[in-house]
Structure 1
Amino acid sequence: MEPASILLTSTVLLAIAAAGGLLMAGIRFAGNRSPPAALAMLHGFLAAAAVTLLLYAAATVGLPAMALVALALFLAAAGGGAILNLNYHWKQLPLPKWLIVVHASAAVAGFALLLAATWATRAA
């Protein structure tokens, strides 16, 4: 598989995951309840699939520097997501809003870089 295809596939998967993340953040910030577990799992699975694909590409065919920085940000966001899920969501505790913002900020920054890397690779 070539880097351009991997970047595009990861970008699409992460865009879908981001839509779920926005929905979950809206649910949490609109009230004092947690989002549905199924939505959280789907969000995590889609994001994990994209990050795994990026890791595979980084180890085999290589990725542009912007995509590697994006990958590092996604790994940081994944750590925050795991903490949100395992320490709060599954224990049925309210998700800390500050951690949601940190998780989302890392993911949004990573997505912006990945989108730029995907665009640059497709245009070349």
Structure 2
Amino acid sequence: MIHYILIVFGVAALGGLILAASVLRDKLAPWVLSVVHALLGATGLVLLVIMLVQGSAPRQVLVGFVLLLLAALGGFLLASFHLKKKLPPKFLVFLHAAVAVAGFFTLLSLVL
């Protein structure tokens, strides 16, 4: 299942790069892409919860889940700026991305 989880988060990350590029160019990101990015992230988190509930997941799964959950909370904060039609501070975009990348690479370490 970890391979599917990595694919879901990988596709979400590609969307995240486009979203971040918009904000870094001082433009609001496309709303539809923001929603797809969030849905993919939520799907990945649900798959991680399923993996954790099954009980035999390595510790990296829990660490990756916590990091990605924190990234998701940061994503909600970024979305709140988007709803107000304001650009978020760039450091929040970088922080969100850094935490998400750390979570992704933590999970990726399971297959490398």
TM-score past 0.5 threshold? yes
Could you report, residue by residue, the CA deviation over 1:30-58 in whole angstroms, capped at 9, with x for unpaired residues? x2211100000000100110111101110
Q: Is the 8 A contact 1:28 1:95 kept in 2?
A: yes
Q: Is the 8 A contact 1:34 1:95 kept in 2?
A: no
For residues 88 and 27 of structure 2, the distance between their equivalents in structure 1, rounded to whole angstroms, comes to 8
Residue among 64, 67, 86 paired with 1:93:
86
Could you report, residue by residue, the CA deviation over 1:57-90 in whole angstroms, capped at 9, with x for unpaired residues? 10124311111100100000000001110x2001
Number of corresponding residues: 112
Residue among 6, 13, 19 paired with 1:18:
13
RMSD: 1.0
The one-letter code of the counterpart of 2:107 is L
State TM-score, norm by structure 2.
0.95
Identity score, percent: 33
What SS class does the counterpart of residue 35 from structure 1 fall into? Answer: coil
Give, in angstroms, the shift of residue 101 of structure 1: 0.8
Q: Is the 8 A contact 1:84 1:95 kept in 2?
A: yes
Residue among 23, 29, 52 paired with 1:28:
23
State TM-score, norm by structure 1.
0.86
Give, in angstroms, the shift of residue 95 of structure 1: 1.6
What SS class does the counterpart of residue 92 from structure 1 fall into? Answer: coil
* Large movers: runs of 4+ above 3 Å: none
